[in-house]
Chains A and B, each alone.
Chain A
Amino acid sequence: MRIRKRWLFSLLAILPVLAIFTYVRIIPIGEILRLSLHKWDILSRNKPFIGFANFIELTRDRLFHEALINTAIIAFGVLIITVPLGIVLAALIHHRVKSRFSSFYETSVFIPHVVSLVPAAMAWKWIFDARLGPLNAFLSMFGVQPQAWLFDPVLSIICIIVLCSWQALGYAVLIYLVGFKTLPESLYEAARLDGATGLQSF
């Protein structure tokens, strides 16, 4: 009886939030899914049911395929950069924890993560500018021709991977740093006793 009362109380307690969540999330999602089975452009009076025709058209859309491929390349590109680099940076920061600059390193690596994407994108857009960007100016010192970073189909993908990695790296470092801090020191001591180098310990 007491357990049922507790359940009832818990249910009643979360009911208002559930109701709001249902109204602002579940119902609109359901409505969108229902509308996706109709032919409608928001404006037309008629909304004929067309089944999965919209989805079939989408799967045949060349631009949709291109967007999927580009998104996948960017996602895996960011992963390939942030995971190993994140571990390395976290290890470096962790093993210099006694350094007076360790907080500075942690903060500076994490700042990009909290910077809003809009000003960050504008700053990077300037960096990658083909005529006035500092990146091309820097590369020209080594004899590299200026590149149209944001207009070339391949280079533009690389630029987005760089931007996303720059933003995501701080969070990855934070996660790995927490992981490093939970590692028992005894493991490192044991590795040292066994003659492991710093890299081997890592």
Chain B
Amino acid sequence: MNRLANGLSAFSLLGRTALLASVFGTSLLAATSVSAQEIRVWSGYPEMAAFYEHVAEGMKDEYPDLKVSVEAIALREHEKRVALGITSGESAEVIELATTIAARYLEGGLLNTPPADVQDFVKDPANYTEFFANAASYDGTVFGVPLFRGQSALYYNTDMFAAAGLAEPPKTMADFDAYAEKLAQRDASGVPTVSGWSMRLSGGGSGIAEKFAINMWQHGDELLKPAGDGKWVSNFASDAGVATLKQYLHNLFETKVVTVEMPADADAFERGQTAMFIRESWVIGDIAAKAPDLKYATATLPRGSIVSTGQLYVKASGDKETAAWAFIKATQEPENLVWLLDNVGWLPNRTGDYSSVVATKPGFDAYVNLPAEYAFFTVPAIGPIDEIQTRSAAFLVEAYAKPELAGDDAAIKAFLETIDTEINSILEREGLLGQ
């Protein structure tokens, strides 16, 4: 009996030793396999390069030989290289993609399925809300790790507001029109030199449609309405759509507080060429870098905001895949995410304590301290969404050059119905058109 007990004990000890060795050996092997790798990170936001480099720097202690090469370029170019890179097998190992863009790659099974521990990490409600976990999933399976989101707020020049006698930011869309009229500055011939409200009126691409969607949300509706069973219907010609386009045309051609050719967006705001505009949180870091003396504040929008989520995905195999997931896990370290918010300005998706950043940069207040009834919406993650937004943008740019539409509700509705017809034909082509 003693011999048996001793034998079992020895066996148990041997077994435990073997198990320990295998775990340690695997960890060592993994660390070694990660450490000796070179991986590339592709991003569509040049300002994110600093963040990824910061994360890579922080990994040096644990993975001294891991080389991380960050390639962050403008978004449209990034989308093109991802399309070509993934299909040709020449892509980076870590790819940052918005939910809507990732959808088409996930449909085609072109991105890696994360290991179980990463999937569990994303599904853990302590780490991410259901919204962000779903944004990183496709067909019920987690494929990416949520990193940051685009969420809109109003930026306004407090000096210009004070000069116009405006004590607080606009609370309704009607306020926006009234404020813009008071804030616009004009030369002797009446031509606006400082726009009262900078609106996205040109520049091509889907951004024009996205900004229109944000304003339309404030009027109570969205561009594409879900029709059940994964189907959608274009909704431009709804009351909200008409009200939104009417507002654009009113500001362009009736009160003339903004023109198509005027400087716009963050650059114009930083140079004092516009009194207010709606944009994402990255502007806070941009203003700090380019116009640190600018007196401005942020405010929530009347009804709610768009949320565009960005995730990190992997397209790699073998040791490179292991290294890629290790890098992605490192991006989710709380101190890295606080660094992201503080230094870059994009809002981290992981639940955490970011109060230290909000305390020193009150501009983030409009992004994190939200009214209870604040309503979020997101662009549907369907394959043709980019085509839909780009097509819509082409129509909208045309509308912004038609002064004859201003004030004519029937003509505006008829114009928006042509957009609906076009968008519904795209949805029908893709088998996504509902009733």
Contacts and interface: CB of A to CB of B under 8 A. Distances in A.
A45 B108 contact: yes
Contacts of B108: 43-45
A150 to B, nearest CB: 7
Interface in B380-403: 383, 391, 394, 398, 401
A129 B261 CA distance: 8
Contacts of A131: 261-263
B104 A151 contact: no
Contact of A150 (B107, B189, B261, B422): B261
Interface residues of A, number: 18
Question: Which interface residue of B110, B262, B401 has the most chain A CB atoms within 10 A?
Answer: B401
Interface string B233-263: 0000000000000000000000000011111
A43 B105 contact: yes
B105 A151 contact: no
12 contacts: A41-B104, A42-B87, A43-B87, A44-B104, A44-B108, A45-B108, A45-B109, A131-B261, A131-B262, A151-B261, A153-B398, A153-B401
Given A42-B83, A131-B261, A146-B191, A57 B401 contact: no
Contacts of A150: 261
A145 B83 CA distance: 46
A152 B429 contact: no
A44 B107 contact: yes
Nearest to B400: A151
A4 interface: no
Interface in B81-127: 83, 86-87, 104-105, 107-110
Interface of A: 41-45, 57, 62-63, 129-131, 145-146, 148, 150-153
B202 A151 contact: yes
A63 B261 contact: no
Contacts of B107: 43-44
B57 to A, nearest CB: 34
Given A43-B105, A45-B109, A62-B422, A57 B429 contact: yes
Given A57-B429, A151-B202, A152-B401, A43 B110 contact: yes
A153 B86 CA distance: 38
A148 B261 contact: yes
Interface string B194-220: 000000001000000000000000000
Contacts of A152: 401
Contacts of A129: 261
A43 B108 CA distance: 6
A43 B189 CA distance: 54
Nearest to A150: B261
Nearest to A146: B191
A146 B260 CA distance: 13
A148 B191 CA distance: 12
Contact of B260 (A45, A57, A62, A148): A148
Nearest to A44: B108
Given A42-B87, A57-B429, A153-B401, A130 B261 contact: yes
- In the A-B complex, list the 7 residue pairs whose CB atoms are closest, starting with the nearest: A130-B261, A151-B260, A148-B261, A43-B108, A151-B261, A43-B104, A44-B108
Contacts of B86: 43
A146 B87 CA distance: 48
A27 to B, nearest CB: 17
Given A43-B83, A43-B87, A43-B105, A148 B259 contact: yes
A44 B110 CA distance: 9
B316 to A, nearest CB: 18
B191 A151 contact: no
Given A44-B104, A63-B391, 12 more contacts: A42-B83, A44-B107, A45-B108, A130-B259, A130-B261, A131-B263, A148-B259, A148-B260, A148-B261, A151-B261, A151-B401, A152-B401
B29 to A, nearest CB: 34
Contacts of B429: 57
B239 to A, nearest CB: 25
Contacts of A44: 104, 107-108
